[in-house]
Amino acid sequence: MDWRDWAQRCAWMGMLAIAAISPVARAADKLLLPAETFFKHPAALDVKLSPSGRYLGMTRVVNNSRVALLVVDLQSNEPAKVVVFFARQDVITFDWVTDERMLFQVGLIEPANGPTFGYLSRQYSVDVTTGKHTRVDRIPLFIPKPQPGLAAGQVVVGRYASRRRIDPEWMDAATGETRAMPIPTPPPGADRWWFDSKAQPRLTMSVDTSEARGAYHWLAPGANQWKELASFKLLSPPFAPVAVSDDGTLYVTEPRGPAREDVLTTFDFEAGRPAATSVISAPGFDFAGGVLRGDPGQGVIGVTLHADSEVTVWLDPAMKQFQQQVDVQWPGTINRIVCRHCGKPDMLALVHSYSDHDPGRYRLYRSETRRWETVSITMPDVKPQQMARVDFQRIKARDGRDLPVWLTLPPDVAPGQPAPAVLLPHGGPWSRGGYWEWRAMSQFLASRGYLVIEPEYRGSSGYGDAHFEAGFKQWGRAMQDDLADALLWARQSGLATDRACLMGAGYGGYATLMGLARDAELFRCGVAWLAITDVMRYVETPGFYSDDGSRFWRRHAFPALVGDSKTEADRLREVSPVEQASRIRAPLLLAYGERDAQVPIDHGRRLRDALTKAGHPPEYVEYEDEGHGWQYMKTRLDFAQRVETFLAKHLQAP
């Protein structure tokens, strides 16, 4: 589903004890875990090994404010050193170039109710030994691994050759000096690039936003001109590139079968289409993962994918054996391996182990010494044995469609005993909401005795194009039916009592509001934060930071996904909470960030006023320094306290 990746890149780029009524019966001496246990900033957001494996780079929130870049020297006992810190911006991503230099991206991070993303970003290069950083006026495209014939510190960057075309060129990461890359002139609109391990461009995607069309162009090894592989509408590409190997193999995903689920395959250049035989597939899920390349010349050594959990399929025998050893040593967790000199006697491996009840920890393994070293624990205060378990189910919606559902089961509720429920639709909505992993809000709610239900309503990605497209123009309609059906299933299965609340952020907040309006008999209350309340305004004025991205969404994406504001205005008003305020009568907690650019705060203020006028004023709070998500600890804890008190009040037994 390549258009979504492209559009997103255009678009955006101590302890607090809470006194509340417990929603379920607990032992009198049972002490609830403080909210800070769940919402404290992680000790590490991202961790990466330097090329030689001597250093560890990581991002972390410092001073309870912004995300900084730190470096650890693994050959010393010194603590992590802050290399980059900005008082008003975050380090969003980073990559090692050499052991002495990194490229990093700075912008504003907004976690909201899903994967972290950043926008208003800028690129920098930093000398990690001195902390001196310089602005890079190019777009990093590819950082090759050290290899013969390539000078150290050379990276591939993109230069805007025109307003709509990005040309790759070489850049010295230390000096910023660039030089041309000797390749045929790229096609007009070339916007995305794929490289082999030697940094040779093999594939580009051209984009015409005015017509909402794209095309893939291939440059074969030794060729002197680009060959078009496919031309398509941006909303429905026939396949999506994943990676290119050094032998010229192009790995792609293609939707197949009745559910049109993406499988990983290779491109058949003679036939001019993806090969009929798949490399790997996960029935019931789209292929979501990557192709793992070893050292230059080593080729493809494995494939990762996410189904109901993450799996790595190693093609290299030595790595397959090592994965088995790691899984035996640390059972019950996903053990993701990133390595230098993979499968060789001098291998250095960084293993990220995590599960549904463990936020994760990073361990370093040296093959030469066969020693393990824990280098970071993501959430040190979280005790896995105290956390809830996550389950995955597939149920039937009222129209017979398969409906994936994630459940976080409260740890203090006996098996077979129903619990009050919180229905937590994910944001997006055009994303996959759930994974088998630890999530702060779901775990916090489960710790208070609630069954947390997270449906992958139609319109969610990750479960086949048929499921995704079934959500087209179904805001406030069939997408809402899926939420109600998930709750009714949980009740009929003996998992949930008749006490339930709706809760969500962004689109999830919108779905909360529409659920209270459409299915009032199912819910006692609602909690909506950063919620879209005026669908007409949302589709007409998307909060993007790129003219091309905004134009694409207004003219093409939103009319197909949500509805056309010019020809379907009445339908959009019917599913706008601000227009349906008189139907929202249940107790409601609303929260917004004053600096939210994606869902401007006027969405919240107008709904608050409309509900008050209708005689059902909500509990309402604004956080002045927040955007589309809660970045500051004081906000996270204040909001958690409000949520806990609100739910306990309205979901306690009658």
Over residues 277-292, the pLDDT tens digits come to 999 999 999 999 999 9
**Interatomic CA distance for residues 584 and 616, integer angstroms:** 8
Over residues 159-169, the pLDDT tens digits come to 988 777 899 99
Helix (H) or strand (E) holding 446: helix 440-447
398 pLDDT above the threshold of 80: yes
Rounded mean pLDDT of 367-379?
95
18 pLDDT above the threshold of 50: no
Strand partners of residue 230: 216
Rounded mean pLDDT of 440-469?
98
Rounded mean pLDDT of 205-234?
95
Q: Which of 292, 312, 303, 301 is nearest to 344 (CA)?
A: 301
Torsion over CA of 225, 229, 230 and 234, rounded to 10 degrees?
-70
Residue 352 near residue 47 (C-beta atoms within 8 A): yes
Residue 425 near residue 511 (C-beta atoms within 8 A): yes
Question: What percentage of the chain carries pLDDT values higher than 90?
Answer: 82
Residue 302 near residue 319 (C-beta atoms within 8 A): yes
Q: Between residues 603 and 114, which one has the greater pLDDT?
A: 603
Residue 103 near residue 97 (C-beta atoms within 8 A): yes
For residue 481, what pLDDT band results from cuts at 50, 70 and 90?
Answer: very high
| Distance between first and last Cα of the chain | 47
217 pLDDT above the threshold of 50: yes
Concatenating the DSSP letter of every residue in 330-380 gives STTSEEEEEEESTTSTT-EEEEEEE-SS---EEEEEETTTTEEEEEEES-T
Please tell me the chain's helix, strand, coil percentages from 3-state DSSP, rounded to the nearest 5.
Answer: 20, 35, 45
114 pLDDT above the threshold of 80: no
- pLDDT given for residue 27 in this prediction: 33
For residue 541, what pLDDT band results from cuts at 50, 70 and 90?
Answer: confident
pTM: 0.93
Over residues 359-368, the pLDDT tens digits come to 999 999 999 9
- pLDDT given for residue 120 in this prediction: 53
- pLDDT given for residue 542 in this prediction: 66
Q: Which of 250, 289, 437 is nearest to 353 (CA)?
A: 437
**Interatomic CA distance for residues 362 and 349, integer angstroms:** 10
When the pLDDT of each residue in the chain is averaged and rounded to a whole number, the result is 91
For residue 8, what pLDDT band results from cuts at 50, 70 and 90?
Answer: very low
**Interatomic CA distance for residues 535 and 352, integer angstroms:** 40
Q: In what order do the strands lie in the sheet with 261-268?
A: 240-244, 250-256, 261-268, 273-280
Over residues 263-275, the pLDDT tens digits come to 999 999 999 999 9
- pLDDT given for residue 31 in this prediction: 86
Rounded mean pLDDT of 174-192?
94
421 pLDDT above the threshold of 70: yes
Which residue matches tokens 């890359």? 181
Range scoring the smallest mean pLDDT among 62-71, 107-116, 388-397, 491-500: 107-116
144 DSSP 8-state letter = P
Over residues 556-574, the pLDDT tens digits come to 999 999 999 999 999 999 9
Q: Which of 513, 321, 504 is nearest to 429 (CA)?
A: 504
Listed as own residue / partner, the contacts of 155-159 with beta carbons closer than 8 Å and 24 or more positions apart are 155/97, 155/103, 156/181, 156/193, 156/195, 156/199, 156/201, 158/193
Rounded mean pLDDT of 531-538?
96
377 φ, ψ to 5°? -110, 120
